[in-house]
Amino acid sequence: MDRFRLANREMWDRLTPIHAASDFYDMEAFLRGDCTLQTVEVEEVGDVDGKSLLHLQCHFGQDTLSWARRGANVVGTDFSEPAITLARSLADELKLDARFICCDLYDLPRHLDGEYDIVFTSAGVLCWLPDLTRWAGVITHFLRPGGIFYIREFHPMAGVFDDDPPVTEPRIRYPYFPSKEPLAFDDAGSYADPEAPIRAVSYEWPHSLGEIITTLATAGLRIEYLHEFPFSGYQSHPFLTRGQDGLWRYEEGQASLPLSFSIRAVKPQ
């Protein structure tokens, strides 16, 4: 693991207790039984009862355990030891049959055996990965023939816009196309708690939609669909407004641009 990703791991280690205590993750509601999965994820992944599901980059496991509540046999993985420790404690507290593994995503084949009906990942994960070819290789390694890969992620197009709070309308600030060198950020707080007493340097890699699709196809997966959505699961930019459904969108009357997307792909028999 290079120095960029080591710095990112240190940041996520520090963010875990902050996120666990935040209103954003609403741990009390989750422990009462609330599902943390987005409606679109539940609808597009479909019935998981009795199926094996591998969740990559699971943070502290709320989504993983939400799949377990729906009947899936789940394994969650993440590179943050505090996050995985918390995930395991949540599984124990909720008496859910779930396994959690702490390791770097690219090293996962050395830490986990078997094939899975579903490999799942969701919003805010790809920017932390410098190499999508290796990422797609991990996915195909763990998918059984006929198994599905599903991702819901923030749209790369939305990622080009300035996200500092004073901004009141879309304004291009960041690159769309990938590069070998990461973008460096020195930020205070967190998306889950902007006032949190933390400041950390982190590194992100932009990935275009074309790169994502091509990488999965080149790895041998058959793309069933790419869906693009004009909403986000949280206020990723200050110029978004929240609807009655809890999702965030551009203000009515502004030009419609994609804020998130989903891909479902199958490993051929």
As its CATH architecture, domain 3-266 has 3-Layer(aba) Sandwich (3.40)
**Per-residue model confidence as pLDDT tens digits over 159-175:** 999 888 778 788 899 99
pLDDT of 254 over the 70 cut: no
The CA distance from 218 to 210, in Å, is 12
Which of residues 237 and 36 earns the better pLDDT score? Answer: 36
The answer to whether 234 and 266 are in contact (CB under 8 A) is no
Instruction: Report the mean per-residue pLDDT for the chain.
Output: 94
Percentage of the chain lying above the pLDDT 90 cut? 84
pLDDT given at position 252: 67
Domain-wise residue ranges, the chain: 3-266
Contacting residues for 224 by C-beta, under 8 A, at least 6 apart: 148, 264, 265, 266
Give pTM, 2 decimals: 0.95
Q: What is the mean pLDDT of residues 54-62?
A: 98
The answer to whether 72 and 49 are in contact (CB under 8 A) is yes
Q: What are phi and psi of 229, to 5 degrees?
A: -125, 145
Q: What is the mean pLDDT of residues 151-163?
A: 93
pLDDT given at position 239: 85
The CA distance from 107 to 9, in Å, is 15
pLDDT given at position 179: 85
Alpha-carbon separation of residue 3 from 77, 106, 108 (angstroms): 21, 15, 19
